[in-house]
Structures are given as structure tokens and as C-alpha cells.
Amino acid sequence: MHDIVIKNAKNLAGEPLEAAVTDGKISFVGRSFTEEAKDSIDAKGAYLSAGWIDAHVHCYPEMTLYYDYIDELGVTKGVTTVIDAGSTGENNVKDFYAYAKRSETNVFAMLNISKNGIYDQYEFRHMEDVNEDNNIDRINEMSDFIVGIKCRMSKSVVGDKGVLPLAMAKSLAAKTGLPLMVHVGSNPPELEEILAMLDAGDIVTHFFNGKKNGILGENGHIKDFVKNSYKRGVYFDLGHGTDSFNFAVARAALAEGIRCRTVSTDIYIRNRKNGPVYDLATTLTKLLHIGYTLDELIPMVTTVPAETWHFERKGRLEVGCDGDLTLFKLTDEHVPLEDSNGNIETSEQAIVPTSCVVAGKYFTSFSEREGLKGFAGYFERYGDFIE
């Protein structure tokens, strides 16, 4: 007997789709489920996809700059897997792992190359905090949790260190075989210098930002060196964040055939509660609004991040894959959307998650704007981490 079945759902083409999960794995995918299951969920016509993956979040609440509580940006928002993007380094990632194991959402981490992670905006103040041997030891020790490497390369982070931190991150990535995500922002260092150091498969996040050191030239077109990096296989991740998504930049890129490869939020408690991020669904809605299609967007939070971060059994609706599912609606409604520079536009549609399943366990999703409600037992389980 199957553990749980999702009935009366549909795929992106609008065709009937149902799925079941048993022992934490997908055990049925098809148009009509006719077998027995312990629990049955009526999707009421919602879309069904593999569980959403947000590949850039900050969710270790013991940090002070960028932090959050995992399930408040995970299962309660229809997101079944999150990857923390370098909040911790080799000195504190074990503590993060101990906390992460208590969550309902699947959690993985990119290791910050600086030993204490983002404890300070200027995390490369002391370059002796970057120890390759220690980083390699921690990666080998925690291979089930550490899935990538994070290096932040903007003025407030690197100070006068130039591209030295990136060179060190590239060396670590080469020796461990892990994906490298590079944060870009204000200069120095210059974006052109950063991209010149990256290879196919390296990931640039925040690339739709509206800063002078961004991808958009003064002529309103995407800079040539950005186009060249895109063509040679450097991956572009959205990484919305508080200060890294601009409608005009995203539209210009789309007009010139440059799309993000993965959609992520760079979410943490302040931009989740106060905006402009709120959640992954809102970020997806912004891209839908500027011209991406639903068929393009859903792979950007399922199959593509699973491939990028080497999750062999996530991101696909296939028998034998992890039993992580997301149910969502596409609603016709006027939705105000704000980018990171205060520009407000109104979308005619919204992507709204209704629920999700993690390893066969069912969760109802809700909007942040509705307030913290509906997640039974959350405060009981995590009360010691809540402010």
C-alpha cells in the first residue's frame, strides 16, 4: 500500500496528473491512481511538480547579518529543499547542520571559504581565515550536507583584497569537484574581471541587479563580456535578494536572449517579512510578469537546480526519486510586485503554492503576508530559536 497519494492534480500542459509516495520515495506518477493509499490529498485542480528547490537562501538563525528559520522559507512556502548560500564556514557549519536536522524542509549548505561565514559584512578582513586544507577536511567530513562553495565578491566583502578570494575559491572548487557560486555586486572588483576567471558550470548569482557594476551597459544593452560568459557556459542564478533584482535589467537580458538558469531568492528574515522578496513564488511571479513562461520557470526550481547541485534523486517527478512534491495554482489577479530598487509593477497573474510533500509528509503552504499561522507545531519544535 502507498503512503500518500495526490489526486486531481494536473501537469504544466493542463493534463491530469496524480502521484503517490511510499517510504519517502515517489511510487507512482500517472494520469489516474487506482491503487490503495493510507492518505489521499485532493489537489482540486492544482498544478503538481517535483518539489521546489531554492538554491540561494540564508537560514542559520545564530548568525546576525543574514539569517532566518528554515521552515518559514521552506515547506510553509511550498519549497521542499533549500541550499544555504555560505552563511557558515568550516568553523561553524557543524552547528548549522545540527540545527538543520530539526527542520521539515530538506537543507543543504554551500561552504563559505572564510571560516566563520558571513559573521561580518567584511568577511575577508583577515585572509588567514581562509584555510584550504581545513575547508577540504570539512567538505570531506560533511559530504552529505555541503554541496557547494560560496564566495562573495563585492566591495563591502573583499575590501582591498581584489580577486584573491575568488582565486582561492576556484582552487577549492577544483580540488573538491563542488559547484562554485559567486556573489557579484558593487565594485571593486569589476564584474568583467570576475567573469573572466569563471569557467563553464561556475555560478554567478545576483546578475539581474541594477548596479553600475552589473550586466547592463549605459547604452541599455547587455555588456559584450557578459554575453560571452553566458555563451561559454557560466551559469546565471537569479538571487533576488534585498538589492539584486531590477525589472529593467531582467527585461533587457530577456530581450537579448539571456535567461537565468536557476531562480533563487537570497531570502532571509528581513526581506522575507518586509519584502521585496517574500518567498520563492513571488520571485517566480516577477519573472512570469516580465515574459518568462510557466514551462520555463518550473524547471528552474526543480530539474535544473537538482542537476546543478548534483541531487540525483530530486527535482524530477519519476518513480524512485525522493518523495518531494509541490502543488501550486496560477491565479488571475492584480498583484503588486516590487523590485530591489523600489520600482512597483502590477502583474495580472500570480504563482501561488498551496501545499507540498517532503519525503511523503504533507504540508499546507501560505503567504507570508497572511502572517505566521497554519504551520502546526512550528513554535513548539523551534521555539528556542525564535527571537
pLDDT tens readout for residues 205-264: 999 999 999 999 999 999 999 999 999 999 999 999 999 999 999 999 999 999 999 999
* Residue 269: inside a domain: yes
> What residues contact residue 295 under an 8 Å CB cut-off, 6+ apart?
12
> What residues contact residue 350 under an 8 Å CB cut-off, 6+ apart?
281, 285, 330, 331, 333, 335
Residue with cell 561556475: 202
Range of the domain at 185: 51-308
Counting the structural domains of the chain, the total is 1
* Residue 265: inside a domain: yes
Residue with cell 577536511: 137
Write the single-letter amino acid at 380. Answer: E
* Residue 384: inside a domain: no
Question: Which residues of the chain register pLDDT less than 50?
Answer: 368-387
Q: Residue 132 has which C-alpha cell?
A: 584550504
Rg of the chain's alpha carbons, rounded to an integer?
20
What pLDDT score was predicted for residue 289? 98
* Residue 368: inside a domain: no
* Residue 320: inside a domain: no
* Residue 116: inside a domain: yes
| Domain containing residue 76: CATH number | 3.20.20.140
* Residue 338: inside a domain: no
Residue with cell 576567471: 197
Terminal CA-to-CA distance of the chain, rounded, Å?
Answer: 43
Angle subtended by helix axes 247-255 and 280-290, to nearest 10 = 50
What pLDDT score was predicted for residue 366? 64
Closest among 29, 10, 57, 115 to 330, alpha carbons compared: 10
What pLDDT score was predicted for residue 369? 37
DSSP string, 86-136: SS--TTTHHHHHHHHTT-SSEEEEEEESSTT-SSSS-TTSSGGG--HHHHH
Task: Give dist(CA 170, CA 198) in Å, integer.
Answer: 8
* Residue 297: inside a domain: yes
